[in-house]
Amino acid sequence: MLAMFSCDIQCSTDVLGKVYAVVSKPKGQIVAKEMKEGTSFFTITARLPVVESFGFADDIWKWTSGAASPMLVFSGYDLLPLSPVLGPHNQRGARRPWHNSGK
């Protein structure tokens, strides 16, 4: 099991690309992007592994010069692509055929 954070980031259109780059660096995934009416600000919702998120807020602030602010909240667990007990799984949790590549 892999602990995951849900991350809401508010930023302007000027730094949107930089936010995408920082989120995707620690194996994060953009879940939603929504523009606030009447403003040039976006709210981006992303998911990223807890273990990969140390220093994430500092990276966001550094890359965007303080123009984006993240909020991280624990959101649950995801299955690892390779379980040491059950072998490889697909995204739905079903077992995939597994062969021994060491032979």
SS (H, E, C) 2-22: EEEEEEEEEEEHHHHHHHHHH
| Residue 38: C-alpha distances to residues 21, 42, 82 (Å) | 26, 11, 45
Amino acid at 1: M
The CATH topology of domain 2-78 is Alpha-Beta Plaits (3.30.70)
Query: Angle, to 10 degrees, between the axis of helix 56-63 and the axis of helix 16-24?
Result: 150
Task: State how far the Cα of 87 lies from the Cα of 82, in Å rounded to an integer.
Answer: 6
What per-residue confidence (pLDDT) applies to 97? 56
Q: Residue 79: how many CA atoms within 13 Å on its side-chain side?
A: 15
What per-residue confidence (pLDDT) applies to 44? 94
| Residue 26: C-alpha distances to residues 39, 47, 48, 51 (Å) | 29, 10, 7, 9
Task: State how far the Cα of 52 lies from the Cα of 97, in Å rounded to an integer.
Answer: 29
What per-residue confidence (pLDDT) applies to 94? 58
Residue spans of the domains in the chain: they are: 2-78
Q: From the first residue on, what is the mean pLDDT of each consecutive set of 10 residues in the chain (103 residues)?
A: 92 91 87 90 93 89 91 89 58 58 59
What per-residue confidence (pLDDT) applies to 2? 87
